[in-house]
Amino acid sequence: MGALSGRGAVVTGASSGVGRAISVALAAQGVTVLLVARDPARLEAAAAACESTGSGGVSHQAELTEDAAVSALAERAPQVLPGVDVLVHAAAAIEIDPLERAALADLDLQYAINVRAPYALTQALLPEIRGRGGQVVFVNSTAGRSAGAGSGQYAATKHALVAVADSLRGEVNADGVRVLSLFLGRTATPMQAALHEAEGREYDPERLIQPEDVAQALVSMLALPRTAEVTDLAMRPMRKP
């Protein structure tokens, strides 16, 4: 067990992909993790994987686009965790289409999941996080730095998430709270597999970033001494997909 042992963490999007890998990696470091997602079966499996490391994994099914669900989660987290020392926003949605035909309903959904939900949850948990000198992690995308053709809606939400993270950092650093944005290239997740299918591309997960790579990097950042802060971390596949 390392520097994070005995802490508590809330991880959204925890039932699969990057969120699950981060949850398991934190549990392996002695962190009690509150795993948040929508799919109950996958959520329970992820919580069991956390438990198998020897640390606690508590599942919490929620639809974080609903304000009542955010409030319920914020109320429960301090009750089942030693404290909210780490908040990881890994839940995300993506739709790819040219602006000419992209549905406005898709834009609304991506905004709700990619921007409003993490904003609302951070706001709800911030008193607890600030009181413990905690850390907030926004799992972003390379699209949050540069938008490609057809990704205007998704990239816009990820650019907005950068603004949320950067502004928050300026507000809470003085209280000892660290804020990190993770900019990920194509990563081997179910969402990426669906995206490849939509693009008509062959999906070869071995050529992509592995979720465990992201989790390993993040744990290292979270465990840094409080004399340093990593504000932005960009990762991409070693080989071009």
Residues carrying an active site annotation: 154
Spatial CB neighbours of 5, under 8 Å, sequence gap ≥ 6: 29, 30, 31
Backbone phi, then psi, for 182, in 5-degree steps? -105, 115
Contact 122, 136 (CB under 8 A): yes
